Amino acid sequence: MQTPHPSARAGRWRLLRRLARDRDGAAAVEFAFVALPFFALIGAIIETSMVFLANQVLETAVYDASRLIRTGQAQQSGYDSAAFKTQVCNRLYILVDCAGVSVDVRTVSTFSAVTTTAPVDEKGNFVNTSFTYSAGKASELVMVRAYYQYPLIFSSLGLDLSDLSNGKRLIGTVTAFRNEPFPW
């Protein structure tokens, strides 16, 4: 490998010293043009990933808590809506405020009767007034739905993930299963 000629090295050092002395602010102005879009993009990427992560956390919590219904433990313990929601909340470790979680548990006649559409009215409002709790008996089909209105930060920068009229993102999960043939 050849080493650069001493005059070439000296020329580089002169250029670096000249750039270090340059104080006219061009770099600061260029950064100012690029900074807002750059940080908005980084924020949108982080927020999008947080929404997906929160949705996964909610889905896992509902699936795990639904096992109590499927095996008959919830029925044997006399769970109501609040007790089951507490079981879901005990499995929510991060990103979801349990106070905002809405849970709907009901029996269905067939798997094709399972509702997977989000309960949002035509104005973009989340509607959970028809949510109920009916864990079913042995071998019955049960549908469990849970929703959370995730607050967004970067909506005002034009990178809007919201799908509700209040500026939040509705995340949710639906699981359906047949209860085990428990003896009680």
Residue bearing the bigger pLDDT, 164 or 19: 164
Q: Is residue 184 part of a domain?
A: no
Q: Given a cut of 70, is residue 44 above it in pLDDT? A: yes
Single pTM value for the model: 0.81
Q: Is residue 48 part of a domain?
A: yes
The single residue listed with the structure tokens 């313990």 is: 77
Q: Is residue 46 part of a domain?
A: yes
Q: What is the DSSP string of 48-66?
A: HHHHHHHHHHHHHHHHHHH
Q: Is residue 111 part of a domain?
A: yes
Q: Is residue 132 part of a domain?
A: yes
Residue 106 belongs to domain spanning: 6-178
pLDDT at site 157: 65
Q: Is residue 1 part of a domain?
A: no
Mean pLDDT of 7-25: 73
Q: Is residue 183 part of a domain?
A: no
Q: Are 149 and 166 in contact (CB under 8 A)?
A: yes
Which amino acid would we find at residue 95? L
Using DSSP's 3-state secondary structure scheme, residue 14 falls into: helix
Domain count, the chain: 1
Q: What is the tens place of the pLDDT at every residue in 120-175? A: 999 999 999 999 999 999 999 999 999 999 999 887 666 788 999 999 999 999 99
pLDDT at site 12: 79
